[in-house]
Structure 1
Amino acid sequence: MAAHSPLIVGIGGTTGGSSSTETALRIALAAAEALGARTLLFGGEAIAALPHYTAKSSTRTAGEAALVTAVRDASGLILASPGYHGNVSGVVKNALDLLEETARDARPYLTDLPVGLIATAYGWQATGSTIAALRAIVHAFRGWPTPFAAAVNCRLSRFDANGAPSDPEVAEQLALVGRQVADFALRIGAPLDIAS
């Protein structure tokens, strides 16, 4: 492990539990771990259990609090969404909306964090538009999308029971996302305390 072991938080999946999207995210997180990062996954089951985000709510569930705390502690994120009707899924967007809780933090939102992006869909059109939507969200959150984003066309590449894609190139692309986030996080060190 490196002297500085950054935390990389993965957010993504579907309401159906284990999915191609969550499997892809796990591959990227494993690649980040291989470079010395610590990782924490908020997969489909965790994000599907989050209530609809309401900004005016004065209380948060344990799941909401855990996700916000993890993002506050993170040195980088990896976001993975299925392409539903050409865009980010509702459960992933709801999880991201929860980051409004960090608006008044010393480091608001995803300021200066590297963020890797993954989209899965049954065809190329939805993967491209979903990645574009994720990039726009990350920019709005003041984060830095990594140079490479992985698009997984599930019509052409499927994951086996062990989580390996049928196309080795897909595995490499997902690993590249994880490596880019971890490498950037390792270079910049621990999250800055902007207030000090």
Structure 2
Amino acid sequence: MIQKKPLILGLGGTPRRGSSSERALAISLKAAEAEGARTLLFCGAELVLPIYMPGERPSEQASRLLAALRDCCGIIISSPAYHGSISGLLKNALDYAEELRTDARVYLDGTPVGCIACAGGWQAAGQTLSVLRTIAHSLRGWPTPFGAMLNTSVPLFDGDGNCTDPTIRGQLETVGRQVVGFIQARHRSIPNARSSAMEDAK
């Protein structure tokens, strides 16, 4: 059992509040909370940041994002599909992770990353999910085995943000659970790994 609740950071949505990608992300984060995690959501206007420029001092808003990236134990990213890829808004936010290159935990090394892609068709959703996983790998993160794809050409959410499709809701909840499950499994393995190393050293 993890004594301190791990922090799961949610990144996604669009500048428009209540987008499908934001609502999907909220469901995954709620599932992570049910598994014992704390969550922090960065979405919509919170991701409208200056274009990332290496070497320049981050804005106050970007600094808050960087602090969250440093503090989190896991991340869930939810992006709309724009022309077969993630949105420029989200890509720019993730570019700020370059500021973590000299940290003790370089980039997102060893951090579980849940991926959600929302598109007006299955082809764009699949391509976007692949891009998200590639970015996670590039940042040394561990994409969860399951990634959620939403075809938003059909209604999936009601006016309160609830998912009306039980299959899609289950997929989003699986993403949240897998992120927390990875953290818990890694936490359990660390004492075992240390014990084995001590035995080998005798």
TM-score, structure 1 length as denominator?
0.92
Which is further off, 91-100 or 8-17? 8-17
Which is further off, 33-42 or 164-173? 164-173
Higher helix proportion: 2
Tell me which residue corresponds to 1:52.
51
TM-score, structure 2 length as denominator?
0.90
Matches within 5 A, 1:102-141: 102-141=100-139
Long gaps (5+) in structure 2: 191-202
In the aligned structure 2, how far is the partner of 1:86 from the partner of 1:4?
A: 39
Contact 1:5 1:186 in 2 (8 A): no
In the aligned structure 2, how far is the partner of 1:150 from the partner of 1:14?
A: 18
Deviation at 1:125, TM superposition (A): 0.8
Deviation at 1:2, TM superposition (A): 5.3
In the aligned structure 1, how far is the partner of 2:159 from the partner of 2:187?
A: 36
Tell me which residue corresponds to 2:23.
23
Long gaps (5+) in structure 1: none
Tell me which residue corresponds to 1:12.
12
In the aligned structure 2, how far is the partner of 1:124 from the partner of 1:139?
A: 23
Tell me which residue corresponds to 2:85.
87
Deviation at 1:22, TM superposition (A): 0.5
Which is further off, 88-97 or 161-170? 161-170
CA RMSD of the aligned region, Å?
1.6
In the aligned structure 1, how far is the partner of 2:124 from the partner of 2:98?
A: 26
Matches within 5 A, 1:159-174: 159-174=157-172
Q: Of the two, which has the highest radius of gyration?
A: 2
Deviation at 1:40, TM superposition (A): 0.3
Amino acid paired to 1:31? A
In the aligned structure 2, how far is the partner of 1:105 from the partner of 1:3?
A: 24
Q: Would the alpha carbon gap of residues 42 and 13 (structure 1) be closer, same or farther in structure 2, given more than 3 Å must change? A: same
In the aligned structure 2, how far is the partner of 1:167 from the partner of 1:53?
A: 37
Matches within 5 A, 1:65-104: 65-104=63-102
In the aligned structure 2, how far is the partner of 1:30 from the partner of 1:98?
A: 26
In the aligned structure 1, how far is the partner of 2:53 from the partner of 2:167?
A: 40
Is the partner of 1:78 in helix, strand or coil?
Answer: strand
- Per-residue CA deviation, residues 36-86 of structure 1 (Å, 9 max, x unaligned), is 0000000112102x11111121x2112111111111111100011000011
Contact 1:15 1:45 in 2 (8 A): yes
In the aligned structure 1, how far is the partner of 2:173 from the partner of 2:138?
A: 25
Contact 2:100 2:107 in 1 (8 A): yes
In the aligned structure 2, how far is the partner of 1:175 from the partner of 1:169?
A: 10
Amino acid paired to 1:167? D
Amino acid paired to 2:95? D
Share of identical aligned residues, percent? 49
The structure 1 residue matched to 2:153, chosen from 152, 155, 158, is 155
